[in-house]
């Protein structure tokens, strides 16, 4: 630990020779983060300073002094993470429970960030599913079981959306089904189901994306990563409820076997969907997961996906978007985000949005009519696959989960922003 730079979080402004607005000052081997330079915003100051220390090539730090608490320590880690460089943080806490919580957060967030940042060649649909299953099973080997449904077996079990989207790739699409059951009773009711979009690369299919928009599409499995990370953190915190999770994993590529515009998909719940845009594929795979989850009759159902550019246009990349027909259901997620110091914002979802994906040949199409709100109609599409008109269901569009270029708070790539919200939702509802 002798090579670690000691970092203190202090109130007030830096003294001479530093300017009053300096965020960081240095004395010998110590760095000082000045809260006063960010108007008392200690979490922002810690994360911003961590980014600057990363930029200076500092690879090992020890957080010291009395200015730190668990949230500022975590904010520092979030900013200090660099996908290219291995870093070491000595938390500087003597509180065993605090250290345990920080370790659980880091383990879950690091997995989310690293699997999402992985190359699309390395992270195939099956690799994503197997990595998620193995990571979770290590946390709860006695309480957790899983199965993977792959390739043509998806058709035999009625998961036509995942199969259609993934059939254009030589690497088979898969659904991961996880059962976390700490009760040990096979007949125990399922409290919550999680569903995640796992498109490990999205070319847009025949509605192909421009190259500039395709460059970050290895991150289109962010929803699958996020619900997995959220469940992992909740398990590490002692979650004592039965939870089932469904990851809907595929590559959306162009080939002679790929699905096409004009295709009609008939789902297990008898809803037919006309494909009018193959780049609106996330909702097609999520439909399978929502149907499977609904069959379990859970108390709550939450899905998460990097679903629409419209959500990012609405709230930017600092917030995740929340959709529900029910005020109380939306509030549960918003409250969970607030308690975990993550940012989430509710966007509109009303019954009339259900009417905005018409088709001349099927029950609905997979895109909204011209002029309709893209994020809301995408959520409304998903609602078609949830029973009781969307009761006890919430959709998270992960607007804030990936940073296409580094900024003053985050490195380029996955952020893990949202997994704590999901973990808290699982724990407290």
User: Residue 224 maps to which CATH number?
Assistant: 3.40.630.10
Spell out the residues 6+ positions from residue 212 whose beta carbon is closer than 8 angstroms to its own.
none
Which residues does the annotation mark as catalytic?
209, 283
Last residue of a domain, one of 33, 63, 94: 94
113: in domain: yes
- Both 76 and 204 in one domain: the answer is no
263 with 205, same domain? yes
**Predicted pLDDT of residue 28:** 86
**Whole-angstrom Cα distance, residue 352 to residue 217?**
31
For residue 218, give the DSSP letter. G
Given this model, what pLDDT does residue 37 score? Answer: 60
pLDDT averaged over the chain? 96
Domain count across the chain: 2
Token reading at 101: 């919580």
In a domain, 363, yes or no: yes
Same-domain check for residues 290 and 182: yes
Is residue 99 domain-resident? no
Is residue 243 one of the residues assigned to a domain? yes
Q: Which runs of E-coded beta strand occur in 241-350?
A: 243-252, 264-266, 272-274, 300-305, 320-323, 344-346
The predicted structure's pLDDT at residue 366? 97
* Sign of the alpha-carbon dihedral angle for 282, 283, 286, 287: negative
Of 49, 70, 94, the domain-final residue: 94
End-to-end CA distance of the chain: 42
pLDDT < 70: residue spans in the chain = 1-2, 37-40
What domain range is 126 assigned to?
A: 109-428
- Half-sphere exposure of residue 373: CA atoms within 13 angstroms, side-chain side: 16
Q: Does 203 map to a domain?
A: yes
pLDDT of 39 reads 56
Backbone angles phi, psi at 285, to 5 degrees: -80, -35
Whether 60 and 189 map to the same domain: the answer is no
69, 94, 119: which is the final residue of a domain?
A: 94
Helix H or strand E encompassing 330: helix 327-339
In this prediction, residue 54 carries a pLDDT of 97
104 lies in some domain: no
| Same domain, residue pair 288 and 323 | yes
Q: Is residue 368 part of a domain?
A: yes
What confidence score (pLDDT) does residue 38 get?
62
Residues near 238 by beta carbon (within 8 Å), at least 6 away in sequence: none
- What's the pLDDT at 301? 98
Residues 136 and 41 in one domain: no
Q: What are phi and psi of 131, to 5 degrees?
A: -65, -45
Q: What is the dihedral of CA 59, 65, 67, 71, to 10 degrees?
A: 50
Looking at the structure, tell me whether residues 29 and 155 fall in a common domain.
no
- Is the same domain home to 118 and 87? no
What pLDDT sits at residue 1? 47
With both helix axes pointing from N to C terminus, report the angle between 96-117 and 222-236 in degrees, rounded to the nearest 10. Answer: 160
- The count of other CB atoms within 10 Å of the CB of residue 103 is 12
Per-residue model confidence as pLDDT tens digits over 110-160: 999 999 999 999 999 999 999 999 999 999 999 999 999 999 999 999 999
Indicate whether 239 and 189 sit together in one domain: yes
Residues 71 and 173 in one domain: no
- Verify that 164 and 49 share a domain, yes or no: no
Q: How far is CA 16 from the centre of its chain?
A: 43
Residues 6 or more apart from 95 whose CB is under 8 A from it? none
Residue 420 lies in a domain: yes
Fill in the DSSP letter of residue 172: P
Q: Please name the residue ranges forming H helices in 167-269.
A: 211-214, 222-236
Contact predicate 231/196, CB 8 Å = no
Nearest to 286 by CA among 408, 398, 211: 398
Exposure string for 113-130, b = 16+ CB within 10 A, e = fewer? bbbbbbebeebbbbbbbe
Q: What is the CA radius of gyration of the chain?
A: 22
Confirm if 376 and 314 have CB atoms less than 8 A apart: no
Both 61 and 148 in one domain: the answer is no
What's phi and psi for 15, nearest 5 deg?
A: -90, -175
């Amino acid at each position: 630990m002798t090579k670690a730079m000691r970092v203190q979080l202090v109130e007030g402004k830096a003294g001479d020779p530093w300017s009053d607005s300096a965020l960081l000052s240095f004395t010998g081997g110590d760095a000082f983060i000045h809260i006063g330079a960010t108007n008392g915003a200690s979490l922002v100051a810690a994360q911003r300073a961590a980014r600057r220390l990363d930029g200076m090539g500092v690879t090992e730090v020890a957080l010291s002094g009395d200015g730190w608490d668990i949230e500022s320590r975590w904010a520092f880690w979030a900013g200090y993470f660099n996908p290219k460089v291995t870093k070491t943080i000595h938390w500087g806490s003597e509180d065993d429970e605090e250290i345990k919580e920080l370790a659980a957060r880091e383990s879950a967030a690091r997995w989310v960030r690293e699997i999402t940042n992985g190359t699309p060649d390395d992270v195939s649909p099956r690799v994503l599913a197997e990595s998620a299953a193995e990571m979770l099973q290590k946390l709860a080997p006695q309480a957790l079981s899983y199965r993977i449904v792959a390739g043509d077996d998806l058709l035999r079990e009625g998961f036509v959306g995942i199969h259609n989207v993934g059939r254009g790739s030589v690497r088979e699409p898969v659904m991961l089904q996880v059962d976390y059951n700490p009760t040990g009773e096979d007949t125990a009711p399922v409290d919550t189901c999680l569903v995640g979009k796992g498109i490990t690369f999205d070319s847009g299919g025949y509605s192909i994306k421009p190259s500039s928009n395709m460059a970050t599409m290895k991150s289109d499995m962010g929803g699958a990563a996020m619900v997995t990370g959220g469940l992992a953190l909740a398990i590490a915190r002692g979650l004592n409820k039965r939870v089932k999770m469904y990851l809907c994993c595929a590559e959306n590529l162009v080939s002679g076997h790929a699905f096409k515009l004009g295709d009609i998909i008939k789902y297990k719940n008898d809803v037919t969907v006309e494909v009018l845009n193959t780049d609106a594929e996330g909702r097609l795979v999520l439909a399978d997961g929502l149907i499977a989850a609904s069959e379990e009759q859970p108390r709550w159902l939450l899905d998460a996906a990097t679903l629409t550019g419209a959500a990012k246009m609405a709230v930017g990349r600092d917030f995740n978007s929340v959709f529900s027909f029910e005020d109380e259901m939306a509030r549960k997620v918003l409250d969970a985000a607030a308690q975990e110091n993550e940012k989430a914002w509710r966007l509109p979802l009303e019954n009339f949005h259900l009417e905005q994906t018409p088709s001349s040949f099927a029950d609905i199409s997979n895109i909204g009519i011209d002029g309709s709100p893209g994020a809301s109609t995408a959520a409304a599409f998903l609602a078609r696959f949830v029973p009781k008109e969307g009761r006890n269901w919430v959709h998270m569009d992960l607007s804030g989960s990936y940073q296409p270029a580094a900024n003053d708070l985050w490195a380029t790539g996955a952020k893990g922003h949202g997994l704590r919200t999901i973990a808290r939702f699982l724990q407290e509802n």
